[in-house]
Amino acid sequence: MVAQCSVKQIIMDYTFIKNKRPDNCCGCEACSYVCPKHIIMMQEDHEGFVYPVVTDETKCISCGGCEKICPATNPTITDDSIKSFCSGHLWSDDDIRASASGGLATAIARSFIERLGGVVYGVAYSADCQLICYEKASTKQDLERFRGSKYAQARKSNDGSSLFMGGKVYKSVLCDLKQGVPVLFIGLPCEIAALTNITKHRFVNLFTIELVCHGPTSQKVHRDFLKELEEENGSTISSFSVRYKNFGWKPYYIRAVFADNAVSDYLTTFHESAYGIAFRYLKRPSCAKCNFKLGNSSAGLQADITVGDFHYAGPSLEAWNKWGSSVGYVHSDKGTQLVKLAEESFDFYETNPIYALKSSYALAHAVKKQINRALFSKTFVTQGLSFASSHYTVKAIDRCLKVKKMIICSLVSLRNMLRKCLR
């Protein structure tokens, strides 16, 4: 992507030159939503990530809407400083097990609906688990589908086709806001940034939670993994999780429940699965240059509160729980209000800011592009997910990187020992 090019030109270039991707595009679908002529559609590329394409260049009126709304090239600069920290977990262990970490977002969302009479927008699997998209919850029961991590990028429209009109969730959010309904939107930092550009801080009834983001993989990875499981077991999947808590919070497990009760549940550690390997190598290209990180002067965090795993928590800290702990970074008065809503079902503990910041490296840093990403992508597209994840070249590079890391760690340890001896 050339910096001086307009967003419209980039989109058009991608439309007619298929091998040229706008690598700054975060897939928020805002440009498709705002186009008055409805000629900007979202289309999956060969890796399964969606990008905007212009279906009819002659109908473009050069209104500049796509340029103004794009959070990648025209972000809203916000004060993303951290006002306060919080950590802890839900009261019930059984309740925590159903959450990705300690359940802070769940506690907030439940009280938001119950006490404020609001609605919550979050990410859920479709009934057949094949599609990941944004949905609206008006009851506590509806919220259950939002729980747990989804590691593939969610669509902002519940359309499973490869070419579709994007950003439908934003239309629904704006409709609720204009009617005076309190809205809680839970999403990734770039999606919060898109919503911020759309709403322009006009609504006091809009509250936002962003998740600490390590970069999503594509929905093609998700679909192909489920397809391979279904073909291997001869049954369709009725329930799926990428962070099932089998024996505790960590390690993460993938669990698939099949519709045919005669077929046993599929269970394996996430990082050793083909899904986990793809998640490590095949991130959206824009994630390597993400500006929506704490302290980034060109954009920064945009939500009222950021929520993530309290990885630093251990048995020595009160906030620790065997089944998971959450950490929250409050950025605004609205964020403080959200935290107070959760107090009726969430155990909060005093949080050391140093521990909280050490817990989430991705809060302030973009993901690093894997050196063998291109190899993995090519193998995945041509040979399939299973072959790509077990490809000997990929594994060989992995081993080399592990050896390199061990050597560096050894050298650092040796250096530290020498320094102590010379004192």
> Token match 């040796």: residue?
414
Reading phi first (left if > 0) and then psi (alpha if -120 to 50, else beta), residue 125 is in: beta
- For 117-158, the pLDDT digits (tens) are 999 999 999 999 999 999 999 999 999 999 999 999 999 998
- For 331-380, the pLDDT digits (tens) are 999 999 999 999 989 999 989 999 999 889 999 999 988 888 998 999 99
- Residue 263: band (very low, low, confident or very high) from pLDDT cuts 50, 70, 90: confident
**Whole-prediction pTM:** 0.88
- For 22-40, the pLDDT digits (tens) are 788 999 999 999 999 999 9
- For 169-225, the pLDDT digits (tens) are 999 999 999 999 999 999 999 999 999 999 988 999 999 999 999 999 999 999 999
Q: 41 and 165 in contact (C-beta within 8 Å)?
A: yes
Running DSSP on this structure, what letter comes out for residue 147? -
Q: 203 and 177 in contact (C-beta within 8 Å)?
A: yes
Question: Which pLDDT score, from 0 to 100, does residue 144 have?
Answer: 95
Kind of pairing, strands 50-54 and 183-187? unpaired
What does residue 221 show for φ and ψ, rounded to 5 degrees? -60, -45
Residue predicted with more confidence, 57 or 323: 323
Closest CA to 167 of 178, 176, 156: 156
- For 63-79, the pLDDT digits (tens) are 989 989 999 888 888 88
Would you tell me which CATH number, out of the four given (2.60.40, 3.30.70, 3.30.43, 3.30.300), belongs to the domain 7-69? 3.30.70
Question: Which pLDDT score, from 0 to 100, does residue 75 have?
Answer: 86
Question: Which pLDDT score, from 0 to 100, does residue 2 have?
Answer: 35
Quote the CA–CA distance of 241 and 296 in Å, as a whole number: 33
Running DSSP on this structure, what letter comes out for residue 217? B
295-305 average pLDDT score: 90
- How many CA within 13 A on the CB side of residue 392? 0
Q: What is the arrangement of strands in the sheet containing 50-54, beginning at the earlier edge strand?
A: 50-54, 40-44, 163-164
User: What share of the chain in percent tops pLDDT 90?
Assistant: 69
Quote the CA–CA distance of 183 and 185 in Å, as a whole number: 6
Quote the CA–CA distance of 206 and 324 in Å, as a whole number: 28
Tell me the domain boundaries of the chain: 7-69, 79-390, 392-423
Structure tokens at 79: 């004060």
273-278 average pLDDT score: 94
Q: Which residues contact 213 (CB under 8 A, 6 or more apart)?
A: 188, 189, 190, 287, 290, 292, 362
